[in-house]
Chain A
């Protein structure tokens, strides 16, 4: 042994467990959960399914059915709806943050919209948009726009608070004030708003497809069929796919948000 003893308080290299204690516990918990489910579920697998059956069904979904296409169809509805929400939301949010009279006039209504469960509007939206893809896109817009409006308004207010004086002394006014001060200053806030909106938007897509059944099929449609067939394996498989899509979006948007707000101290 030629290496010197490691200094007190420092971990000896090579002696560390390859994974942390928390990971071990989490994997253990997951294994326990799966084993319990397998044992209990196999008594009445038409009702409770089992991990094995769900896994088989999921492989089937991807291999034989067009699960990837369904996910992409749902995601494309999300992207279109989100694009509309961002445009509308940023415009309204900038107005709200910049002009006090605008916020005095319309903020109470926007807060009201925020507090109302949007699902209640589904019947009305079916009447307005039919049961096609328009409905799904409209429900994404309904779910996401308010979040982006408030995020943008908060960003613009914060930017005014910090930069209004500097902009004034540099004689930045009019369109330039919006273009080079307010919008760039509020981008981190808008990014946060978009992250929250994506989370809510994907739920809106699935709910929309599930409730009204849309022609270009999506994840929600898959769920709808599973329900009609009372196929527990398929329901679990779909729920897990929906979850994976949600997690994936969560990670991607989190990464993008960090990219866009690198200079800003973490406030929430």
Chain B
């Protein structure tokens, strides 16, 4: 995806903003202090708006922050949250390990050997461009509604992200390093392990992050559509019974996990490839 529109980078210093004069006078520490005031202000504002909305809207469709926290405490206390997440994480880890192995291996091989890649290109691209959800009915027809079908769905959600990122990465790397390696007469087998794989490592990290993010979509989706367990099932059941506070609480945990995963893997990416500043998202 686009380098320039990847969110999460800090806002560049805008010297024309209304706070610029203030910040300039007080120096860096003043500005940091200002920012935290703004952040706390926006948090309070959002919570107040939320509370106000919950008073206006009917409780059947909206809930207040207090009730959401209470519902969160309840599902933590009775263990249903932990149970849902442990089921989900087992599926996610299984599917993602398979997708990582398959995606990275195929990505490196097909990135390196063009003939095979060209042969398989149309099918791969077609599958990639098909909305994965369109395959869901077929998967439940073939694999049923249990854990096997769920792993297959999550696999399909994450595999293509990993595969295409790694393959494109290998191709980008190829031209630059392979020529040098050729000049030193390095045999093909050694080249793959010593040149192509290490150079493709940062792309592997990016691919894994994207694969994980898409896998999260799969994880939630299978809970709605196949057997209603795991975190997707939790959300589904709360919504079915119109327990809006519980639904908010469940959503909050999904958000938290999503953000935590994204940040951790971003950090890993930067560690693996400090010279690349946020490319190939």
Give the one of A99, A118, A120 with max B CB within 10 A. Answer: A120
Q: Does B235 contact A (CB under 8 A)?
A: yes
Interface size on B, residues (CB 8 A): 72
B94-102, B119-127, B193-201, B269-277 - interface stretch: B119-127
Contact across chains for B247 and A123 when beta carbons are under 8 A apart: yes
A:94-109 near B, CB below 8 Å: 96, 98-101, 103-109
C-alpha spacing A196/B1, complex, angstroms: 8
B contact residues around A154 at 8 Å (CB): 2, 4-5
How many residue pairs at the A-B interface have CB separations less than 8 Å? Answer: 198
Contact across chains for B61 and A242 when beta carbons are under 8 A apart: no
Contact across chains for A110 and B7 when beta carbons are under 8 A apart: yes
Interface size on A, residues (CB 8 A): 78
Q: Taking the nearest CB of chain B, how far is it from the CB of A223, in angstroms? A: 6
Contact across chains for B138 and A267 when beta carbons are under 8 A apart: no
Chain B residues proximal to chain A, CB less than 8 Å: 1-8, 11-20, 35, 38-39, 41-42, 46, 60-61, 115, 118-123, 126, 129-131, 133-138, 140-142, 213, 216-217, 219-221, 224-225, 232, 235-236, 238-240, 242, 244, 247-248, 250-251, 254-255, 258-259, 261-262
Contact across chains for B225 and A211 when beta carbons are under 8 A apart: yes
Give the one of B17, B133, B224 with max A CB within 10 A. Answer: B133
Q: Taking the nearest CB of chain A, how far is it from the CB of B66, in angstroms? A: 18
C-alpha spacing A106/B41, complex, angstroms: 10
Identify whether the interface residues of B are mostly helix, strand, loop, or mixed: helix
B contact residues around A110 at 8 Å (CB): 7
Contact across chains for B141 and A116 when beta carbons are under 8 A apart: no
| Given A26-B119, A33-B123, A99-B17; A120-B2 close (CB under 8 Å) | no
Q: Does A260 contact B (CB under 8 A)?
A: no
